[in-house]
Structure 1
Amino acid sequence: MNTLRQYRIALQIFQSNRLRRDYRDLSEVPEYEPLGEFFFNEMYGPRDFSQRDQEGRRLHHFLGFLPGVRLRDLEEVLELLELTYQLDEDLAQRMLAADAGTDFDEMTYEYFYRLADKYDERFRQLTLVRSSLYNVFQLSRSPILGLALRRSHFVARLAGIGTVHTFLLRGYEALQNVATIEHFAETIYQRELDRLNRIYQR
Structure 2
Amino acid sequence: MNTLRQYRIALQIFQSNRLRRDYRDLSEVPAYEPLGEFFFNEMYGPRDFSRRDQEGRRLAHFIDLLPGVHLHDLEEILELLDLTYQLDDDLAQRMMAANVGTDFDETVYEHFYREADKYDDRLRQLNLVRSSLYNVFRLSRSSLIGMALRQTVFVARLVGISEVHTFLRRGYDALQRVTTIDHFAETIYRRELDRLNRLYQR
Q: C-alpha displacement at 1:23, in angstroms?
A: 0.1
Q: Which residue of 2 aligns with 1:93?
A: 93
Q: Which residue of 1 aligns with 2:33?
A: 33
Q: Which residue of 1 aligns with 2:80?
A: 80
CA distance in 1, matches of 2:158, 2:60: 15
**1:53 aligned to 2:53?**
yes
4+ residue segments displaced more than 4 Å: none
**1:189 aligned to 2:189?**
yes
Q: Which residue of 2 aligns with 1:126?
A: 126
Q: C-alpha displacement at 1:109, in angstroms?
A: 0.1
Alignment coverage as a number of residue pairs: 202
**1:198 aligned to 2:201?**
no
CA distance in 2, matches of 1:135, 1:25: 23
TM-score (norm 2): 1.00
TM-score (norm 1): 1.00
Percent identity over the alignment is 81
Q: Deviations over 1:151-192 (max 9, x none)?
A: 001001111100000000000000000000000000000000
Q: Deviations over 1:52-99 (max 9, x none)?
A: 000000001111110000010010000000000000000000000000
Q: Which residue of 1 aligns with 2:14?
A: 14
Unpaired segments ≥5 residues, structure 2:
none
CA distance in 1, matches of 2:59, 2:71: 8
Unpaired segments ≥5 residues, structure 1:
none
CA distance in 1, matches of 2:155, 2:105: 43
Q: Deviations over 1:28-75 (max 9, x none)?
A: 000000000000000000000000000000001111110000010010
Structure 2 counterpart SS, 1:132: helix
